[in-house]
Chains A and B, each alone.
Chain A
Amino acid sequence: MTSIDVHHLTKEYGTRRAVDDLTFTVRPGRVTGFLGPNGAGKSTTMRLVLGLDRPTSGTATVGGRAYTTLREPLRHVGALLDADAAHGSRTGRGHLRVLAASNRVAARRVDEVMEQTGIASVAHRRVKTYSLGMRQRLGIAAALLGDPQVVLLDEPSNGLDPEGIVWIRELLRGLADEGRTVLVSSHLMNETASFADHLVVLGRGRLLADTPMREFIDARVRPRVRIRTPDATALKAALARHGHDAVDHDDGYWTVHHARVDDIGRIVSGAGVPVLELAADEGTLEQAYLDLTATETEFTAQPQEA
């Protein structure tokens, strides 16, 4: 097993608690989305897992071992932390060669990952001439260099163009399908929804949720049905008979809250209401997340210091 295990992890900077008694496990074979507003402690947690920062208390292990005890860590764990980690005066290829040498990774892997991340054509250019998207790809190439079982990426879609965003989505899915452990932080909800199977949500350094994504959404967003009809009176009457209420929208459609499309479909067809359009309005991750953070804000609005 190559899980990431975080156990009662706490990190204080001075008096500020960046990470507060976090416990969660990131399992292999799925993409875990790591969500939270800026400053929630996502990057700090990643640095603690990588042994870059020392925890105030608690532990973080990869495959049961502390990261700093790994001999050639890049062969086990690949990470993208900052897009600007590569020295601007080195070529992209030179940057990766250095990393490969330090962990005795075969030199051919350098060319392979540059090919895989689509930066083979700029391999011999200096990193300072790279666009943000290319730097991001170089950082991802560095993470994949040692063919690791565990991959941690901090905001990997930063600076990527639409094509790059599709590419990273497929890359992450592919890594998880190969049985790897994939942890991806992001503050972009729609983006995360497109690749994550599981979610770990932080707020002010604390764990707010650790659930499968679908469950997370279903538990927080009530389903809605969207319907369009030329006969609003008949629609309202039919719905009212079954205890539903429809809300009118300017652009000519109605929304039925707290309802499933299967039920509403039966009701309106049974009543003979002419229907032009009938669709399920699925809850989005964004709605679920905002719902969660709204309750959290209420909770944390109370005085913190006792």
Chain B
Amino acid sequence: MDLAPVLRAEALKVLTLRSLCGALLALFAATTAFSALAGVSDTSDPEFDPLFTALSGVMPGQIAAIAFGAVVVSSEYQGNGIRLTLAAVPQRGRWFAAKLAVVAVPALGVGLVTALAALFAARAGLGAAAGGLTAGEQIRGVVGCGIYLMLMALFAAGLTALFRSGVATLSTLVPFILVVSFVIGDAAGTVADFLPDRAGQTVLHQTYEGALGPWTGLAVTALWTAAALLAGFWRLRSRDA
């Protein structure tokens, strides 16, 4: 399968829409800013986790990653643009693969840079409070954070293909992440640990308890993402455009 021309076209689509470049910029700016703020906050809490404090900007920042994934796909459904797209690339699997690549690669790249910047910004404020972090933990946090943001962007892309609407995706995912996960999240050690966002966020913590470790947690998020993508692809394949 010759994916290169389709990839080039999909990459051009991202680059020629300012809102998409804006979403990636917002991901970086929001995450770094909130992490920097967290860095100068009170660190006397007994449950203080320096790694999670440093990367806590991801909590609001991930909304930008979700918006990016959703809009990359939903921009196709504006004004029946999908028809023109599928008339140009009628092999829907080939097109969907290229679409996912242009969600995943920028989200991962910007996610890694963002996580690194957030860590440095927060550590500048935390000072000695972050002294207990090992190099390994910090690398795990940054890499895990990049992967987490990529998975969330893909999760949103899959849901958008399923709903054929960015609005539906964002109005499902954003309240879910801000409210549901937050409210039932404190009931740790329950099903809540296996929610798509909570599971993956284990990797952002220095210490963790419960059923999931950093990588198994990301694997659970990856399963959620795979399910959303499969559902989205099933809808794309089976439906008239």
Contacts and interface: CB of A to CB of B under 8 A. Distances in A.
Interface of B: 2, 5-6, 8-10, 12-13, 16-19, 75, 78-81, 83-84, 86-91, 240-241
A50 B81 CA distance: 14
Q: Which of the listed residues A86, A88, A101 has the most CB atoms from chain B within 10 Å of its own CB?
A: A101
Given A47-B240, A85-B80, A73 B87 contact: yes
A63 interface: no
Contacts of A89: 17-19
Nearest to B11: A101
B90 A85 contact: no
A71 B8 CA distance: 16
Contacts of A52: 83, 86-87, 240-241
10 contacts: A50-B83, A82-B80, A85-B84, A87-B75, A88-B79, A89-B17, A90-B17, A97-B12, A99-B88, A102-B9
What is the predominant secondary structure among interface residues of chain B facing chain A? helix
Given A54-B240, A82-B79, A89-B19, A101 B87 contact: no
Interface string A52-66: 111000000000000
Interface residues of A, number: 34
A85 B87 CA distance: 11
B137 to A, nearest CB: 42
A248 interface: no
Chain A facing B: main interface SS: loop
Contacts of B86: 51-52
A129 interface: no
Interface string A70-84: 111110000101101
Contacts of B80: 81-82, 84-85
A86 B76 CA distance: 9
